[in-house]
Amino acid sequence: MINPDYGSLIDLLPTESNQMTTSAIDTNWMQQAIEIAQQGLGNVEPNPMVGCVIANQEQLLAQGYHEQFGQAHAEVNALASVPSDADLSQASMYVTLEPCCHHGKTPPCTTAIINAGIKRVVVATTDPNGQVNGGGIELLKAAGIEVLLGICEPQANSLIAPYFNATQNKRPWIIAKWAMTLDGKIATTTGSSQWISNAESRAVVHQLRGRMDAILVGHKTAICDNPQLTARPTETTAKRQAIRVVLAQTPTLHLDSHLVCSADEIPVIVTAGPAADSDHCQQLIDNGVEILAFDDNQGIIDGLLSVLYQRQVTNLLVEGGSQLLGSLFDRQLIDEVHVFIAPSLIGGTSAPAPLGGCGIEKMSNALKLTNPQFKTLGDNIYISGRTKRE
């Protein structure tokens, strides 16, 4: 599976050495823990991806990762894989995130670690969750376990960025996606947009959708494109289906649209402002659509993001249109970008570009991508990366 968000971490793995220092050994195993943690992508949210390795110097004893939300954490899975004759008193545990110390859907990992007899735990980064946030480390130290903190911390923080964002900012991690022509258009002057990208690019989009909690489009996009917003499964994609969301002030979504017709199978949420037609909203409700009503049009975006956060939506994919993406851009809410560029030209002054809104005034203030990834998908160019404001 193409995974631009975390694929660059693969390049961080060190080359093998017959004589490795303790520091190099710690780094090596932690990078392996980061690598295996990514196998939980799309399955563990709203929890973070976490990986764990148990080793005695250069000898690997066991490893595990958080595989599914609500199920055992990485540390417990790793401990369950330890050979029965292994002596853990001389081993180190490497875990990408501070072990939990509270009862949630599973018992605290700190208890499992202490009971296992491990005497040294290497932690990449602390857990920002207020129920942990250093408490897990303190419990391990109180039990006489040596704790080393901060090995590969930047990579580990990158791994849990959506989780950290939800914890700190109380909103989903917002991922903007669009396909555009070489002259920067996402549709013609008449609104035609299917298909700008090729089949290979669309397959990657289904991979993205297959690890999302929710997918958001603007009302005009929902009307003009009549999208399904589903992750069509292949051999490598579609771990789950995301909630479909339409941002509207006065929704007029057709009752025979793909979204409405499938609302009973995959949830659909439509926002509505104070001027919305109550009769049409009721018809949507009767067809299985959830209506989120707001008293103020200006507060719809903030209100929607708040509701999605409360419903444990960690990753939100925004697929357009120009007005919605521009509004999120102007408010500095876009955290990650995935763009598919086709070698075609359509022209037209009124043909929409990806980002509407007010935009920036100076190039020096342009929103930049950190460590952008570039891939060729047939005749399309795929660019992705996380955003960074200087």
Catalytic residues: 75
Q: How far apart are CA 284 and CA 260, in angstroms?
A: 7
Contact predicate 77/49, CB 8 Å? no
Tokens of 281: 């909203």
Sheet architecture: strand order including 59-65: 59-65, 51-56, 92-97, 120-125, 146-149
Listing DSSP states for 25-84 in one string gives: HHHHHHHHHHHHHGGGTTTSTTSPP-EEEEEETTEEEEEEE--STTS--HHHHHHHTS-T
Of residues 42, 305, 66, 284, the one with CA closest to residue 172: 305
Q: How far apart are CA 242 and CA 1, in angstroms?
A: 18
Contact predicate 5/315, CB 8 Å? no
Q: Which residue has tokens 């973070």?
A: 48
Taking each helix axis from N to C terminus, what angle separates 135-142 and 109-116, rounded to the nearest 10 degrees?
20
Contact predicate 222/257, CB 8 Å? yes
Distances (CA, A) of 37 to 14, 48, 112, 306: 17, 9, 19, 28
Residues forming a β-bridge with 346: none
Of residues 310, 360, 372, 307, the one with CA closest to residue 336: 372
DSSP 89: G
Of residues 2, 320, 357, the one with CA closest to residue 179: 320
